[in-house]
């Protein structure tokens, strides 16, 4: 498939644009996908006016794709930035375009100075993956590790809020991106490159391209560990990370609830298929201690994740309670692990365990 892709791009290189350059050299091809002989991509024009004039070029691009052996059908769409929009990702400032199609076939996109990449995953949404990622990152940094945190949850990036950052990362040369720093952690989120409140409507290839950019264009520097907060589920982003960045392993977060565990099992199975070791399971929202009477309530069930870990012979790393401070601290932009108290200690203990086991 990647040979077909390369050949299509080669054909598109031949289509000269009126102002000079080609569709490829001017980076106007988006979301190129090849599936069972069906080719699809989008030509992104600099303005709606130019897009209207580019219809003959669109048709020529379709013919060029069809001329490649193995291609049975080609569908090419034209799109444009609106001048008032702040780029496809918002923000106005010049900078790298996020969400292009992935490049470079199966080449590694692992950042050079990063010793270990740790994926934090869950089957189901809302189980606390981002809460665990941000607190674990802060706890590791407090123990002297050089930590990076990449929010790869493209459809629902929540780390900027949880880490208390909202400025757009700088890109002095328009290609590389300078990550931000918060609570001792080097941080990058796709949410910082997109317009807040705008839904991301991207196909798989654009998601894969965006992750690739976040790994290879961000100046991560030398890190002991890069924690990648994945979107929930088993999709293109997970696949790209495992195949192109060779993570050291994955931590899977789940609540003890049956429906969450069911999905967690799927995530574990996906990592096994992709040959990424699952290094541990974490139970979040495992118990609620009533602050008034001290009563323990198992709102989402009890012990399910520990039992699952034993069954699958995967280390059970932590049982984190439902905790008001955790929620409030996350909403306020200073993770609970940055302070003092039982939850900060729980995250510091989790971080120590990962350091002792040379995972982070």
Ligand X SMILES: Nc1ncnc2c1ncn2[C@@H]1O[C@H](COP(=O)(O)OP(=O)(O)OP(=O)(O)O)[C@@H](O)[C@H]1O
Q: Name the site residues for ligand X (rule: CB under 6 A).
A: 122, 125-131, 153, 156, 158, 232, 284-285, 320, 322-323, 326-327, 330
Nearer to ligand X, 31 or 193 (CB): 193
Nearer to ligand X, 218 or 343 (CB): 343
In the complex, least distance from residue 153 CB atom to ligand X, rounded to whole angstroms: 5
Nearer to ligand X, 45 or 320 (CB): 320
**Where would I find the beta strands (DSSP E) of the chain?**
29-35, 38-45, 73-80, 114-121, 147-151, 180-182, 185-189, 223-229, 249-254, 278-289, 296-297, 316-322
Nearer to ligand X, 100 or 256 (CB): 256
3-state secondary structure of 324: helix
Within 8 A by CB and 6+ apart from 117, the residues are: 110, 225, 226, 228, 241, 245, 246, 247, 248
Nearer to ligand X, 63 or 198 (CB): 198
Burial 123-149 (b: 16+ CB within 10 A, else e): bbeebbbbbbbbbbbbbbbbeebbbbb
In the complex, least distance from residue 329 CB atom to ligand X, rounded to whole angstroms: 8
Within 8 A by CB and 6+ apart from 101, the residues are: 29, 30, 31, 32, 33, 41, 205, 206, 208, 209
In the complex, least distance from residue 331 CB atom to ligand X, rounded to whole angstroms: 6
Nearer to ligand X, 240 or 284 (CB): 284
Question: Which residues sit in the known binding site?
Answer: 123-130
In the complex, least distance from residue 114 CB atom to ligand X, rounded to whole angstroms: 22
Pick the closest to residue 224 from 119, 146, 150, 144 (CA basis).
146
In the complex, least distance from residue 249 CB atom to ligand X, rounded to whole angstroms: 19
Chain residue whose CB lies nearest ligand X: 125
Question: Which residues sit in the known binding site for ATP?
Answer: 123-130
Bridge partners (DSSP) listed for residue 185: 147, 182
Calpha distance 228→256 (Å, rounded)? 23
């Amino acid at each position: 498939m990647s040979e077909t892709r390369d050949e299509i791009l080669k054909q598109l290189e031949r289509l000269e644009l009126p102002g000079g350059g080609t569709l490829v050299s001017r980076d106007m091809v988006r979301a190129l996908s090849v599936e069972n002989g069906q080719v699809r991509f989008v030509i992104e024009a600099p303005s709606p006016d130019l897009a209207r004039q580019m219809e003959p070029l669109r048709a020529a691009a379709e013919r060029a794709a069809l001329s490649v052996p193995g291609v049975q059908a080609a569908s090419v769409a034209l799109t444009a930035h609106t001048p008032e929009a702040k780029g496809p990702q918002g923000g106005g400032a010049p900078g790298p375009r996020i969400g292009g199609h992935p490049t470079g076939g199966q080449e590694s996109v692992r950042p050079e100075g990063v010793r270990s990449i740790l994926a934090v995953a869950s089957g189901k949404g809302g189980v606390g993956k981002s809460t665990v990622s941000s607190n674990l990152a802060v706890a590791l940094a407090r123990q002297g590790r050089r930590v990076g945190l990449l929010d790869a949850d493209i459809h629902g990036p929540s780390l900027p809020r949880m880490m208390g950052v909202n400025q757009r990362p700088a890109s002095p040369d328009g290609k590389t991106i300078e990550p931000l720093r918060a609570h001792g952690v080097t941080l990058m989120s796709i949410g910082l490159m997109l317009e807040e409140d705008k839904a991301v409507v991207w196909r798989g290839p654009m998601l894969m391209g965006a992750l690739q950019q976040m790994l290879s264009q961000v100046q991560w520097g030398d890190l002991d560990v890069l924690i990648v907060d994945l979107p929930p589920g088993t999709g293109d982003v997970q696949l790209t990370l495992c195949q192109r960045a060779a993570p050291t392993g994955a931590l899977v977060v789940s609540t003890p609830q049956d429906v969450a565990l069911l999905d967690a099992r799927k995530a574990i199975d996906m990592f096994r298929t992709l040959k990424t070791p699952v290094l541990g399971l974490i139970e979040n929202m495992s118990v609620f201690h009533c602050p008034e009477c001290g009563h323990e309530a198992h709102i989402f069930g009890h012990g399910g994740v520990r039992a699952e870990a034993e069954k699958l012979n995967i280390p059970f790393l932590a049982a984190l309670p439902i905790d008001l401070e955790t929620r409030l601290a996350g909403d306020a932009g200073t993770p609970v692990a940055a302070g003092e108290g039982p939850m900060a200690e729980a995250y510091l203990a989790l971080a120590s365990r990962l350091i002792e086991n040379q995972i982070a």
